[in-house]
Structure 1
Amino acid sequence: MSRPKGPILFDLDEDTPRAAPSEAPPVPDPDLPPPPEGRAMQTVAALAARRPSRLARLFWGLLGTLLTLAISLAAWNFAAGLVASVPLLGYVVSGLLIALVLVLLAIALRELAAFARLGRIDALHRAADAALADDDLPAARRLTDDLVKLYAGREDTRWGRERLAEQRGDQFDARTLLALTEAELLTPLDAAALRQVEGAARQVAAVTALVPLALADVVVALSANLRMIRRIAEIYGGRSGTLGSLRLTRAVLTHLVATGAVAVGDDVISSVAGGSLLSKISRRFGEGVVNGALTARVGVAAMEVCRPLPFSPGKRPKVRRLLTTALSGLFPS
């Protein structure tokens, strides 16, 4: 191919805006890992939100029933055989079995009471939604009375209950009465719940960033979120047992998955890490920020579920601010 002779004219369009060098996208570095995606918390949420099929529930129900019958029959035959062969030892074993049955009954009653407490909180929340939707002042007053009874034995709400008793007579519509009830009764409880969320987010972020073991971040995220949700429920008066905590956790994470709240963008990392060099060059530190953000979102959702009153406009905690406070000083900028 022959080279053209003479000058070559390049037609440059000066009217087309050109990006400044500072606005140019970064050149991808093949040595750096891909950006974090919060896989630990996404895995936890997906596992918790997954609902087993009817066939699976039927299988596990039948299997549990058969195992219970087999264990009970084996224990009965064992105790009866001991009574026949060694009467004294047989009576001792029979007493131990009776004690075990009583303990299991006590545990079952505690779980039922926990479900009842969670149901009571849920009923209060639905009543508040209905009172706000209909602007029903008598319903709001009844709801306020129920909340005062719910927190009557708690010292951390004593001052708020006294202030509420002084001011509730001046409120003449449902919205202002419930706003006053929220401000006086739930403000110290909200502060305690936020401290639990910040602690859980900090723990998940630190372990993800500093512990390089496989699946360690998933295990820590799962345990920290379970513990956080249970403590938030206890703060708001819905103390839950083991089964209640699992059910509550599943409800919270199912809501997060359904609303797409388990996805976190890069703006969260930049706003929280403050442009930290470590968050840009280290995948572990970036994943720590993302997992901490997702834990904070789970915590805010747990507060909404466990709280007897819905958040007033502007009162709902901001995840970004929450995470900034939780991770302050953890990721140096």
Structure 2
Amino acid sequence: MTDAPKRPRGPVLMPLDDDTGTRPRPPRTETRADDAPSPADAPAIDISDAPLPQPRTMQMVARLVGRPPSRLTRLFINAGAALFTFLLGVMALDFIDGLMTRYPLLGWIAVTLFAVFTIAALGMALREWRAWRRMARIDALQRQAGAALAAESLDQAKAVADGLVALYAKRPEMEWQRQRLADRRAETFDAQALLTLTETELLAGLDQQARREIEAAARTVAATTALVPLALADVAAALAANLRMIRRMAEIYGGRAGAVGGWRLARTVMTHLIATGAVAAGDDLIHTMAGGGILAKLSRRFGEGLVNGALTARVGIAAMEVCRPLPFLSQPRPKVGNLVSRALTGLFSNDDAR
């Protein structure tokens, strides 16, 4: 046993340059919990003092179309039209009479032209009357369908199905749908099932055409409002697009509204929207579809165009409900968000690439 110290086992690390005392150390900074950034101090997201875009164009269109004239205004318009027609007829007859006295050949030409004009006017009046009758026929089918569903009457449902088949009997593109309905209607034994089958076979394809018309009108109104800087040009374009869309709804579902009938149908649709407050509801559409304040920050005109397009889609849905012979039973009711999304996709995407 020796008193020699024991050697350490394993490698030993020997420092070569001991400069720990000469190298300066960085100052230590103590961070307290109170000095750390707090989430509560972060600025609020999407806070904008700018007003949200409002659908001024569609509101003006609704006021122009949906507001009925007063009795005094109707009396003034009817009396003025009657007086103008009377004076015009008297002047035409006096002119033709003098022409017959001086130049008989030219007088007979004027008589022929006047007769052709009178026949054309009577033809237009007859067309308006037939268009009004078709719209009244669709209204009657809607009431009969509602009564059949309320009473659960199979006989009334059969009458409604027969009426729809007769309504679309002269449309060759629906021959296959009519044949399928005739083959399958014997399988139904209650009013709900028969009307649902009739809706699926006859109206499903027409609903797709109506949706495409609504998307096209919403795209036109949105683009016009966003891109046209003139004050009344966007109103005129929106009015024309909505009137054309409503007329197309009537044509798709078999109504064929004429000039006067189309205007009355448009006034009925707009009056319904004004009564329900749908035209004035613009803020909910902005927040739901486009983030509200973000859209107002980017472009006020684009925000107004989007809301006007959404309200145009609402007008189209209301026109579908008015012109559709049956209520929505099994087919999905169109939604404003889906229609506007597809309309804007068609506006900003390339159709050839899809």
| TM-score normalised to structure 1 length | 0.88
Partner Cα separation in structure 1 for residue 43 and residue 200 of structure 2: 46
* Contact 2:200/2:331, CA 8 A, preserved across alignment: no
Which amino acid letter does the alignment assign opposite residue 103 of structure 1?
A
What's the counterpart of residue 118 of structure 2? 101
For the aligned residue pairs, the C-alpha RMSD in angstroms reads 2.2
Which amino acid letter does the alignment assign opposite residue 143 of structure 1?
V
Partner Cα separation in structure 2 for residue 151 and residue 51 of structure 1: 33
Unaligned runs of 5+ in 2: 1-37, 350-354
Partner Cα separation in structure 2 for residue 119 and residue 96 of structure 1: 35
Q: Deviations over 1:1-38 (max 9, x none)?
A: xxxxxxxxxxxxxxxxx995679464445xx5x21110
Partner Cα separation in structure 2 for residue 255 and residue 213 of structure 1: 29
What's the counterpart of residue 151 of structure 1? 168
Counterparts of 1:219-298 in structure 2, within 5 Å, are 219-273=236-290, 280-298=297-315
* Contact 2:54/2:283, CA 8 A, preserved across alignment: no
Counterparts of 1:57-72 in structure 2, within 5 Å, are 57-72=74-89
Partner of 1:327, secondary structure, is helix
Partner Cα separation in structure 1 for residue 130 and residue 73 of structure 2: 27
What's the counterpart of residue 15 of structure 1? none
Partner Cα separation in structure 1 for residue 206 and residue 293 of structure 2: 33
* Contact 2:52/2:293, CA 8 A, preserved across alignment: no
* Residue 213 of structure 1, aligned match among 207, 230, 250: 230
Partner of 1:328, secondary structure, is helix
Unaligned runs of 5+ in 1: 1-17
* Contact 1:276/1:331, CA 8 A, preserved across alignment: no
Q: Cα 1:124–1:22, aligned 2, differ >3 Å: closer, same or farther?
A: farther
* Contact 1:272/1:323, CA 8 A, preserved across alignment: no
Partner Cα separation in structure 2 for residue 110 and residue 66 of structure 1: 24
Runs of 4+ displaced beyond 3 Å: 18-29, 264-267, 270-280, 329-332
Partner Cα separation in structure 2 for residue 269 and residue 51 of structure 1: 29
Partner Cα separation in structure 1 for residue 344 and residue 292 of structure 2: 14
Q: Number of residue pairs matched?
A: 312
* Contact 1:124/1:309, CA 8 A, preserved across alignment: yes
* Contact 2:251/2:257, CA 8 A, preserved across alignment: yes
* Contact 2:283/2:292, CA 8 A, preserved across alignment: no
| TM-score normalised to structure 2 length | 0.83
What's the counterpart of residue 73 of structure 2? 56
* Residue 132 of structure 1, aligned match among 149, 153, 158: 149
Partner Cα separation in structure 1 for residue 127 and residue 46 of structure 2: 58
* Contact 1:264/1:290, CA 8 A, preserved across alignment: no
Q: Cα 1:312–1:23, aligned 2, differ >3 Å: closer, same or farther?
A: farther
Partner of 1:52, secondary structure, is coil
Q: CA deviation at 1:155?
A: 3.1
* Residue 217 of structure 2, aligned match among 193, 200, 224: 200
Q: Whose radius of gyration is greater, 1 or 2?
A: 2
Q: Cα 1:189–1:329, aligned 2, differ >3 Å: closer, same or farther?
A: closer
Partner Cα separation in structure 2 for residue 124 and residue 23 of structure 1: 59
Q: Deviations over 1:134-189 (max 9, x none)?
A: 11110100110111111122233222212211211111111111011001100000
Partner of 2:82, secondary structure, is helix
